[in-house]
């Protein structure tokens, strides 16, 4: 496991961010830092994604930054060229996975079934995105699907919020959780970065409480 991915596991929470205007990227990064969470996954759901990644990487190198919703090799190339340190995809795309592995770029593809988990294992991957977590059955489904795969850790994403975050983090197979409730695009577009910082602090507090209960450092 690379040091970058180990760092994600220690933080245990990944902001899944959709940025409409790249000019907001640095402000968002500072809001996350002020909230105690030096990482983010910028999704390729907007045309501003690559530029936003470049801006944050250049100005705030202390943030561990990745690219999400990566569907093609072209997007993976754009992301890495812009400074993304890891790649996340909603599903298991063999071409994207192979491209990343050939270049030693950490990649966490999405899985929803045992078949997809075994495809990822066959590629040498054991940290996988579980998506869309809540729609697939939430905590109980993740516990069930994780049970046969003791070497696999999951990053559940999709439908996670302040109310259910702790329940996911209590699952031993959970490496980290991905969430967008504290970095909603409307908060970014409205320039309400103080609220993003407040919600981030609240989320980080939940992470710390769960660590204390599990006896983790």
Residue 132: inside a domain, yes or no?
A: no
Domain of residue 20 covers 3-107+160-214
Residue 64: inside a domain, yes or no?
A: yes
Name the residue with tokens 């592995």: 101
Which token pair is 115?
A: 């078949």
The one catalytic residue among 41, 51, 116, 170: 41
The one catalytic residue among 10, 20, 51, 129: 129
Which one, of 177, 178, 176, 196, lies nearest residue 186 by Cα?
Answer: 196
Residue 209: inside a domain, yes or no?
A: yes
pTM summary value: 0.96
Query: In the 8-state DSSP scheme, what is residue 72?
Result: S
Residue 91: inside a domain, yes or no?
A: yes
Residue 113: inside a domain, yes or no?
A: no
CATH number (domain holding residue 188):
3.20.20.70
Concerning whether 41 is annotated as a catalytic residue, the answer is yes
Q: Encode the chain (217 residues) as per-residue pLDDT tens digits.
A: 788 889 999 999 999 999 999 999 999 999 999 999 999 999 999 999 999 999 999 999 999 999 999 999 999 999 999 999 999 999 999 999 999 999 999 999 999 999 999 999 999 999 999 999 999 999 999 999 999 999 999 999 999 999 999 999 999 999 999 999 999 999 999 999 999 999 999 999 999 999 766 555 4
Q: Report the domain count for the chain.
A: 1
Residue 162's CB is within 10 A of a number of other CB atoms, namely 14
């Amino acid at each position: 496991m690379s040091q970058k991915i180990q760092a994600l596991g220690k933080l245990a929470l990944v902001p899944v961010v959709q940025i409409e205007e790249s000019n907001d990227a640095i402000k968002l990064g500072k809001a996350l830092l002020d909230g105690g969470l030096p990482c983010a996954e910028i999704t390729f759901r907007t045309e501003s994604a690559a530029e936003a990644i470049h801006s944050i990487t250049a100005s705030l190198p202390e943030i561990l930054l990745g690219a999400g919703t990566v569907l093609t090799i072209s997007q993976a190339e754009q992301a890495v060229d812009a400074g993304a340190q890891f790649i996340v995809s909603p599903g298991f795309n063999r071409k994207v996975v192979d491209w990343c592995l050939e270049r030693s770029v950490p990649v966490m593809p999405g899985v929803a079934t045992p078949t997809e988990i075994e495809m990822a294992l066959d590629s040498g991957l054991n940290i996988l995105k579980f998506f869309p977590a809540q729609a697939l059955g939430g905590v109980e489904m993740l516990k069930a699907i994780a049970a046969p795969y003791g070497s696999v850790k999951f990053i559940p994403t999709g439908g996670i919020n302040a109310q259910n975050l702790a329940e996911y983090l209590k699952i031993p197979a959970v490496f980290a959780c991905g969430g967008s409730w504290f970095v909603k695009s409307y908060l970014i577009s409205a320039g309400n970065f103080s609220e993003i910082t407040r919600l981030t602090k609240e989320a980080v507090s939940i992470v710390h409480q769960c660590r204390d209960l599990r006896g983790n450092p």
